[in-house]
């Protein structure tokens, strides 16, 4: 047994204020000290490092140890973030704290509020569990210096996270470099001091009023008020066991849309996510109950939020799909919403559309057609939200920023309202969401996209694959030759450096490879364009098969 590891674990145990994680860690220490090999390995994993604080804040599995999400780690993060904010402000900074319905979310939020207040900050806690977009809205609405949202979004049930926003010149966007490194350094200083129990705490934090939530509801409902003639529109909604329903239902009512048929089993927050194996609308099976409800209601479309309601999924009837329903890709929804924004912004000087570099190039075609600027960014709304003149931004992972003057982050609720507006307008014209997709293709071309994801238990597998692709770049994917290859890690693309490989193929298709920033996955994004929709889809299917074969060969 490593004596240093044992000492580190015991020191952590002494400062842990949570009886559950104290008992958990004490048991592991006892078994490890007696020579239990599995316990030694467990202890090593818990203290092999610490959850890295990056541009997505913190995110990881709940449990005791520096490599898990727990009250010690959150206390260190809150105290470090407080020190960072005080160092960049002449007065007492204001920070807003929100939380979702996951395990320990409220406890982590309360710890943060007490520590912020104890450090001399003005701390404002949201009145109850609420969607992430409400917290992002609150940072701007209250003129706060910063915001913290306790959420793990669509991660597995045993995960939680700590997402950070900055106000002022950052306009309520997520943090980017160098702020992430500066905050991480302050957190490390707190951790090195070694005892979070001596950090000053105070109960003198404020609770935000209901007027804050009402302001978000009003601003979001005003985005796309219901047109006349939609009273009979039939649609289904699921909150995916998250916190979206209570807020979204109020927005729908205020905007004048008919109430949806709700997936009752998934309506209320449930940290166990009992009806889904993985609480992400992108995952197979996650929307099965919604499809069942839609078939029973003869619905026209389905809308789903992820657990913290910052993402939106849309599905439509499709006789060719299993079960008669097809979930639209994030690119399809993004292009529909992008076209909506382009029409509204046409003629506005400096207005732009923006998307992550792995999202559909179709958004660029829309921007060109309407005389708008277009920006490609690294993945993540921390970058998309900062695009100059941005009136709409999206990423293919079901994230859409449709209301940048109020929420400078992806917002699944405001995106849902915008989608309802499109569906209602289409209905009045005698068409459907599928019809809108056809109209889009006729206007700017047929774009198709696909994705290959490899989930791993060992992150070194991803590191090895990226190293192999850099060492020996592929010259072709199947029968399609590579025309050019870019390694964005060099920063030569004009963007900030990122762990991304981009291949442009001779036939105009595109393949992009990158590790996920929030999950243990390697993700490959494929895009093709053709005059015919079937040809574009065929190209994507063939490229997906070629990518899988290449990665299997390199593994």
Q: Which helix (H) or strand (E) is 97 found in, with range? A: strand 94-99
Selection from 539, 354, 366 nearest residue 441 by Cα: 366
Residue keyed to tokens 């707190």: 190
Read off the DSSP letter of residue 9.
H
Selection from 94, 193, 109 nearest residue 139 by Cα: 94
- 153 as an active site residue: the answer is yes
Read off the DSSP letter of residue 258.
P
Rounded to 5°, angle at Cα 164 from 414 and 252:
15
Per the CB < 8 A criterion, the answer to whether 133 and 381 are in contact is no
Give the long-range contacts of residues 17-20, CB within 8 A, separation 24 or more: 17/71, 17/72, 17/75, 17/196, 17/197, 18/70, 18/71, 18/72, 18/107
Residue keyed to tokens 């238990």: 457
Residue keyed to tokens 């292009």: 335
Assign 3-class secondary structure to 273-332: CCCCCCCCCCCCCCCHHHHHHHHHHCCCEEEEECCCCCCEEEEEECCCCHHHEEECCHHH
Quick one: CA dihedral 404, 409, 413, 419, positive or negative? positive
Alpha helices in 105-238 (DSSP H): 105-118, 132-141, 179-193, 210-221
Annotated catalytic residue within 153, 385, 414, 449: 153
Alpha-carbon Rg of the chain, whole angstroms? 24
- With H, G, I as helix, E, B as strand and everything else as coil, classify residue 496: coil
- With H, G, I as helix, E, B as strand and everything else as coil, classify residue 547: helix
Residues listed for the chain: 555
Task: Give the span between the Cα atoms of 289 and 266, in whole angstroms.
Answer: 9
Lookup: tokens for 255: 């905007």
Task: Give the span between the Cα atoms of 224 and 392, in whole angstroms.
Answer: 14
Positions annotated as catalytic residues are 153
């Amino acid at each position: 047994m490593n004596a240093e590891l044992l000492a580190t674990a015991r020191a952590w145990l002494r400062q842990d204020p949570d009886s559950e994680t104290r008992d958990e860690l004490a048991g592991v220490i006892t078994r490890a000290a007696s020579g239990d090999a599995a316990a030694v390995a467990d202890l090593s994993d818990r203290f092999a490092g610490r959850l890295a604080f990056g541009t997505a804040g913190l995110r990881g599995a709940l449990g005791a140890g520096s490599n898990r999400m727990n009250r010690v780690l959150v206390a260190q993060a809150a105290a470090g973030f407080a020190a960072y904010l005080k160092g960049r402000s002449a007065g007492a900074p204001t920070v807003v704290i929100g939380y979702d319905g996951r395990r320990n979310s409220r406890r982590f939020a309360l710890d943060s509020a007490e520590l912020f207040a104890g450090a001399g900050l003005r701390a404002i806690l949201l009145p109850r569990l609420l969607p992430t977009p409400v917290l992002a809205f609150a940072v701007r609405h209250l003129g706060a210096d910063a915001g913290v949202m306790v959420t793990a979004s669509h991660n597995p049930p045993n995960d939680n996270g700590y997402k950070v926003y900055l106000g002022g010149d950052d306009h309520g966007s997520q943090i980017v470099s160098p702020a992430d490194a500066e905050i991480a350094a302050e957190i490390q200083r707190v951790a090195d001091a070694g005892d979070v129990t001596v950090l000053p705490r105070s109960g003198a934090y404020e609770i935000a009023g209901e007027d804050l939530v009402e302001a978000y509801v009003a601003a979001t409902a005003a985005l796309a008020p219901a047109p006349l003639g939609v009273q009979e529109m039939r649609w289904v909604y699921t909150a995916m066991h998250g916190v979206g329903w209570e807020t979204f239902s109020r927005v729908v009512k205020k905007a004048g849309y008919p109430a949806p048929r709700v997936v009752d089993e998934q309506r209320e927050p449930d940290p166990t996510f009992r009806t889904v194996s993985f609480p992400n609308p992108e995952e197979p099976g996650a929307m099965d109950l919604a499809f069942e409800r839609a078939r029973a209601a003869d619905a026209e479309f389905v809308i789903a939020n992820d657990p913290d309601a910052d993402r939106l999924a849309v599905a439509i009837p499709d006789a060719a799909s299993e079960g008669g329903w097809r979930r639209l890709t994030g690119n399809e929804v993004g292009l529909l919403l992008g076209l909506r924004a382009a029409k509204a912004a046409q003629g506005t000087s400096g207005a732009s559309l923006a998307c992550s570099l792995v999202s559909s190039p179709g958004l660029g075609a829309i921007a060109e057609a309407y005389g708008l600027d277009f920006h490609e960014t690294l993945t993540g709304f921390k970058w998309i939200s900062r695009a100059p003149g941005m009136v709409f931004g999206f990423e293919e992972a079901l994230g859409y920023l449709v209301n940048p003057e109020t929420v400078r982050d992806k917002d699944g609720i405001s995106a849902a309202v915008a989608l309802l507006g499109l569906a209602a307008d289409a209905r009045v014209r005698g068409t459907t969401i599928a019809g809108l997709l056809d109209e889009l293709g006729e206007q700017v071309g047929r774009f198709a996209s696909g994705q290959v994801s490899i989930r791993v238990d060992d992150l070194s597998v991803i590191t090895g694959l990226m190293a192999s692709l850099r060492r020996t770049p592929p010259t072709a994917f199947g029968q399609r030759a590579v025309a050019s290859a870019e390694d964005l890690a060099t920063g030569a693309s004009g963007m900030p450096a990122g762990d991304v490989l981009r291949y442009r193929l001779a036939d105009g298709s595109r393949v992009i490879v990158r590790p996920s920033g929030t999950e243990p996955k390697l993700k490959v994004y494929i895009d093709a364009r053709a005059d015919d929709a079937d040809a574009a889809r065929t190209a994507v299917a063939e490229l997906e098969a070629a990518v899988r074969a290449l990665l299997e060969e390199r593994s």
